[in-house]
């Protein structure tokens, strides 16, 4: 447990002191959301109707953007090899990285979402549901992302391939995420989203660790 906590601390320090990565992601999230009105026209009714989908797409893209720093820096400077030989199992290492990844790339998006809600003419009630669905659904996105990053970590151009692999797997998350906002059976969709998140977060560390250890040796 101490090792796990040390791992969490290491990842957090690296993420927080590593410069403006977090701010860049938030900026990207807001800009993607703010670009849509230029493309579809600033019609308030239309925007309000598609706003939940826009927010979800923006969050999905922003989280893809942050994936490359999950394992790649550790792979490049060799610390991933050291982590594999540590007493702490690789799955636990991945779990720690996953938690920190969510904290630094999903939580800021949640905090920034009021800004996007305002720009997209969202009702207050819709906004709360968007926030809830994002909070429940982003762990699943982070988990799928971790698997994709682990699969591609030993490829030099892996950053380009990971999104292609992750996007099809993330479709259920998007369906239930926006379903829990707009659909008629929204509470059922929210429960499905929660189930998906819990399952993905529980299984992803093992799958990602397996992918890393089979790609490294």
Partner 1 sequence: MTLDTTQKQSWWSRIAHPGQFVIWTRPLLWPLTILTALVFVVGLYFAFFNSPADYQMGDTVRIMYVHVPNAWLSQFVYGVMAVSALGTLVWRHPLADVSMKAAAPLGALFTALALFTGSLWGRPTWGTFWEWDGRMTSTLVLLFIYLGIVALWRAFDDQLRAARVIAVFTLIGAVNIPIIKFSVDWWSTLHQPASVFRADGPRMPGSILTPLFIMFFAFTFLFITLQLKAMHTEVKRRRVMTLQRRAAQGEPA
> Which residues of this protein are in contact with partner 1, per CB under 8 A?
147, 151-152, 154-155, 157-158, 161, 164-165, 167-169, 171-172, 175-176, 179, 183-184, 192, 196, 207, 210-211, 214-215, 217
Please, which residue, 8 or 213, has the CB nearer to partner 1?
Answer: 213
Please, which residue, 47 or 143, has the CB nearer to partner 1?
Answer: 143
Smallest separation (angstroms) from partner 1 to the CB of 64: 14
Please, which residue, 65 or 149, has the CB nearer to partner 1?
Answer: 149
State the CB neighbour count (10 A cutoff) for residue 82: 10
Please, which residue, 110 or 167, has the CB nearer to partner 1?
Answer: 167
Smallest separation (angstroms) from partner 1 to the CB of 41: 23
Q: What angle do CA 68, 69, 75 make, to 5 degrees?
A: 95
Distance CA 23, CA 25 (A): 5
Smallest separation (angstroms) from partner 1 to the CB of 190: 13
Give every CB contact of residue 78 below 8 A, 6+ residues apart in sequence: none
187's tokens: 């509470």
């Amino acid at each position: 447990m101490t090792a796990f906590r040390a791992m969490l601390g290491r990842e957090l320090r690296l993420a927080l002191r590593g410069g403006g990565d977090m701010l860049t992601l938030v900026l990207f999230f807001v800009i993607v959301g703010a670009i849509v009105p230029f493309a579809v026209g600033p019609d308030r009714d239309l925007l309000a109707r598609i706003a939940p989908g826009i927010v979800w797409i923006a969050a999905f893209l922003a989280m893809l953007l942050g994936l490359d720093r999950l394992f790649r820096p550790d792979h490049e400077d060799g610390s991933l090899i050291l982590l594999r030989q540590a007493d702490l199992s690789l799955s636990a290492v991945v779990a720690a990285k996953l938690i920190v990844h969510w904290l630094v790339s999903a939580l800021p998006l949640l905090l920034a979402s009021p800004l996007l809600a305002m720009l997209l003419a969202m009702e207050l009630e819709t906004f709360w549901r968007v926030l809830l669905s994002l909070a429940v659904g982003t762990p699943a996105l982070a988990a799928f992302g971790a698997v994709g990053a682990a699969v591609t970590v030993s490829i030099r151009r892996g950053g380009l391939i990971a999104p292609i692999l992750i996007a099809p797997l993330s479709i259920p998350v998007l369906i239930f995420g926006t379903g829990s906002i707009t659909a008629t059976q929204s509470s059922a969709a929210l429960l499905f989203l929660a189930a998906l998140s819990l399952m993905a977060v529980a299984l992803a560390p093992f799958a990602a660790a397996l992918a890393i250890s089979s790609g490294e040796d």
